[in-house]
Chain A
Amino acid sequence: MTRDFRILVVDDELAMRESLAGWLHKEGYAADCAAGGAEALELLGGRTYDLLLVDIKMPGMDGLELLRKMKETHPQTLVVIITAYGSIESAVQAMKQGAQDYLLKPFDPEELILLIAKLARQRELIRENQALKERLREQERTGWGDLVADSKAMRAVMRLVEEVAASDSPVLITGETGTGKEMVARALHAASQRAYGPFVPINCGGQNESLLESELFGHERGAFTGAVQARRGRLEMADGGTLFLDEVGEIPPKMQVDLLRVLEEKAFTRLGGSQTVHSDFRLVSATHRDLAALVRAGEVRQDFFYRINVIAVRLPPLRERDDDIGLLAQYFLLRYGRETGKTVEGLTPEALRILNAYAWPGNVRELKNVMERAVVIARQPLIGKNELTFLQPDQESGPELISLEEMERRHIQRVLEAEEGNITHAAQVLGIDRRTLTRKLRRQEAK
């Protein structure tokens, strides 16, 4: 159990080092002995030790010198100084030089066992910490999170994101709902030089104008009814990082002017305030709407559009990324399998066919939800047709290829059912004359 914690005992007295090493062996630790500083350094050259138990008084290279030398080459190795009562000052000096603790000779066995257990735990925490940092660094380096893709279209997007990440130019991400616009924004942030700064997202849709204004610019105390204390806005929070404006097309034209000024000057004032606040952030915006059309319709100011659309990234909908459906489905299956503790191995060929045939109007988000539901209801390691039955009635483009005439017949039936058989109302919905509808129905009945 403790064999992976390796200890080196350094003491010039044979009896001392042998009894200590012998006791450590009994305790289950891997322990070696060295008779002096030089021998210890030699052993350290060939093997990694987690802990060194070093006697401070040794002929030749003493404990302090050994500590100094080994901390240069093995800074991660923990050191405990063993000292006699008279040399306690040297032990304190050793602690200042980086030793973890000291023991007064002779010591209580229980004291040693507690100290080593504490250091073993400390070493374990250091290792865990290093591993976590490594994982974070890796994640920051790639920064793709749930953006699993192998299709040509998405690879092009990923390449573009990596290319533009280093610059500070504003980026506009367009794409249907659920295509992963925020994830791409986060990846951009993670790959940029601002990765260690904050990533501040705000959804501009579904908020009234004054609330959005307060959220963005912040406010001073008493700026409006209910502003009982001053509050920093998202623009301020994003200083040194990235501001992500989701649903940017929903920002009212008046606020577009204010934002345009902020983007030009990198400065603004809080609502009800007079002091200028400076904020240096990179702007990444996203929308599922056609901003160019909104400019034409006068809903979005042209200057604002040009300012935020320096670099455009278009995310293709899932239906244009057939290659990714299976890959994403597998990814989400494994993920939800892990989270729910279920053993899910993959999809049956039939299930994969159903997924590929579906139109995915909700894109990756919908696929993710479908897979989560499938894992929850799954009773077998392979997800099959049964787990996806809820998906089939909503299919927009089924595998069945039908004629235009058959399509018309089914559509008329649907509208009639919806209008409870009222032909006049159904004709209105269909946008045709009542007599035309009656004629069509007669013709269908005749067949």
Chain B
Amino acid sequence: MPEASPRVLPVQAEVVPLGRVNQVACAVAAAHIKALLGLSSQVVQAAPEPDFAYLPVRGQHDAAALMDYLAKRRPSGVIRVGVTEADLCLPVFTFVFGEARLGGGVAVASLHRLWEGRYGRSAPRSLAYRRLAKVVCHETGHALGLEHCQELGCLMRFAGGLTTLDRLKMWFCPACAGELSARRAEPFSV
């Protein structure tokens, strides 16, 4: 009997608000995933407050724990991108704007540090949303399997601070864009 060919699933993205999150920010994230990564995306129902990931010693949320949570509820062929207002960290790092499993289909982004503006003031909403869109696209790129890029301005370039994040363009360099379209074309099997 001939072997049945594997079902090719179109890659989709779900933006999951983790607890109470600014709805406009989530919509901006979903729109940018669609526009820049070419994935169909939507904001889904919010998950409960992610208290389980809170680390009292650090006063921050563990990004790895949040990704585990997202991964458990991930349908096949779907990339789940969590958005939270909580401050995220990793065991080794003091903070992260976002985190993703490389090629693992899950990512998380935090708005917490993106509100920081000049001279101790809050950043305008438009700037904070633009920053979130960059973090979300960057992490979704990782979730699809893309590594960091050295190209100046490319969204896959590592940004460890707001200054570097603000310098990134809303753009994937040709190499990363090519890689993205190849990943989109592949059946998402993770």
Interface residue ranges, A against B (CB under 8 Å): 1, 13, 15-16, 18-20, 22-23, 25-28, 82, 105-113
CB pair B92 A106 closer than 8 Å: yes
B 75-113 contacts with A by CB, 8 A: 89-96, 100-102
B180 at the A/B interface (Cβ < 8 Å)? no
13 A-B contacts (beta carbon < 8 Å): A16-B91, A19-B92, A19-B93, A22-B101, A23-B90, A25-B102, A25-B147, A26-B142, A26-B158, A27-B158, A106-B94, A107-B94, A110-B161
CB pair A16 B92 closer than 8 Å: yes
B64 at the A/B interface (Cβ < 8 Å)? yes
Known: A15-B64, A109-B158. A27 touches B89 (CB 8 A): no
Known: A26-B142, A108-B160, A110-B160. A19 touches B148 (CB 8 A): no
Known: A15-B64, A25-B102, A26-B142. A109 touches B93 (CB 8 A): yes
Interface residue ranges, B against A (CB under 8 Å): 58, 64, 89-96, 100-102, 142, 147-148, 150, 158, 160-161, 164
Query: Using Cβ atoms and an 8 Å threshold, which residues of chain A touch B164?
Result: 110
CB pair A107 B161 closer than 8 Å: no
CB pair B92 A28 closer than 8 Å: no
Report the separation of the CA atoms of residues A25 and B147 in the bound assembly, to the nearest whole angstrom. 7
Most buried by A among B64, B96, B147: B147
Partner of B91, one of A26, A27, A28, A106: A106
CB pair A15 B102 closer than 8 Å: no
Query: Using Cβ atoms and an 8 Å threshold, which residues of chain A touch B147?
Result: 25-28
Known: A1-B150, A26-B147, A28-B147. A107 touches B101 (CB 8 A): no
Query: Using Cβ atoms and an 8 Å threshold, which residues of chain B touch A15?
Result: 64, 91
**Which A-B residue pairs are the 7 nearest by beta carbons?**
A110-B160, A109-B160, A19-B90, A16-B91, A15-B91, A20-B92, A27-B148
CB pair B90 A106 closer than 8 Å: yes
User: Chain B at the A interface: mostly helix, strand, loop or mixed?
Assistant: loop
B146 to chain A: closest CB distance in Å? Answer: 9
Report the separation of the CA atoms of residues A13 and B158 in the bound assembly, to the nearest whole angstrom. 25
B28 to chain A: closest CB distance in Å? Answer: 24
CB pair A19 B160 closer than 8 Å: no
B66 to chain A: closest CB distance in Å? Answer: 13
Known: A1-B150, A19-B64, A27-B158. A108 touches B94 (CB 8 A): yes
CB pair A107 B92 closer than 8 Å: yes
Known: A15-B64, A27-B148. A105 touches B92 (CB 8 A): yes
Query: Using Cβ atoms and an 8 Å threshold, which residues of chain A touch B161?
Result: 110
CB pair B92 A108 closer than 8 Å: no
CB pair B93 A106 closer than 8 Å: yes
A34 to chain B: closest CB distance in Å? Answer: 15
CB pair B148 A28 closer than 8 Å: yes
Query: Using Cβ atoms and an 8 Å threshold, which residues of chain A touch B101?
Result: 22
B92 to chain A: closest CB distance in Å? Answer: 5
A13 to chain B: closest CB distance in Å? Answer: 7
A151 to chain B: closest CB distance in Å? Answer: 52
CB pair B96 A109 closer than 8 Å: yes
Q: Which residue of A lies closest to B161 (CB)?
A: A110
CB pair B92 A113 closer than 8 Å: no
Query: Using Cβ atoms and an 8 Å threshold, which residues of chain B touch A19?
Result: 64, 90-93
Query: Using Cβ atoms and an 8 Å threshold, which residues of chain A touch B92?
Result: 16, 19-20, 23, 82, 105-107, 112
Query: Using Cβ atoms and an 8 Å threshold, which residues of chain B touch A1?
Result: 150
Q: Which residue of A lies closest to B89 (CB)?
A: A106
Query: Using Cβ atoms and an 8 Å threshold, which residues of chain A touch B100?
Result: 26
Query: Using Cβ atoms and an 8 Å threshold, which residues of chain A touch B96?
Result: 109
CB pair A108 B102 closer than 8 Å: no
B185 to chain A: closest CB distance in Å? Answer: 22
Partner of B102, one of A13, A22, A82, A107: A22
Report the separation of the CA atoms of residues A22 and B142 in the bound assembly, to the nearest whole angstrom. 11
CB pair B89 A26 closer than 8 Å: no
Query: Using Cβ atoms and an 8 Å threshold, which residues of chain B touch A109?
Result: 93-94, 96, 158, 160
B12 to chain A: closest CB distance in Å? Answer: 23
CB pair A108 B93 closer than 8 Å: yes
Report the separation of the CA atoms of residues A57 and B102 in the bound assembly, to the nearest whole angstrom. 28
Q: Which residue of B lies closest to A2 (CB)?
A: B150
Query: Using Cβ atoms and an 8 Å threshold, which residues of chain B touch A28?
Result: 147-148
Query: Using Cβ atoms and an 8 Å threshold, which residues of chain A touch B95?
Result: 108
Query: Using Cβ atoms and an 8 Å threshold, which residues of chain B touch A13?
Result: 91
Report the separation of the CA atoms of residues A19 and B66 in the bound assembly, to the nearest whole angstrom. 13
Report the separation of the CA atoms of residues A105 and B101 in the bound assembly, to the nearest whole angstrom. 22
Report the separation of the CA atoms of residues A18 and B68 in the bound assembly, to the nearest whole angstrom. 13
Q: Which residue of A lies closest to B139 (CB)?
A: A26
Report the separation of the CA atoms of residues A108 and B97 in the bound assembly, to the nearest whole angstrom. 12
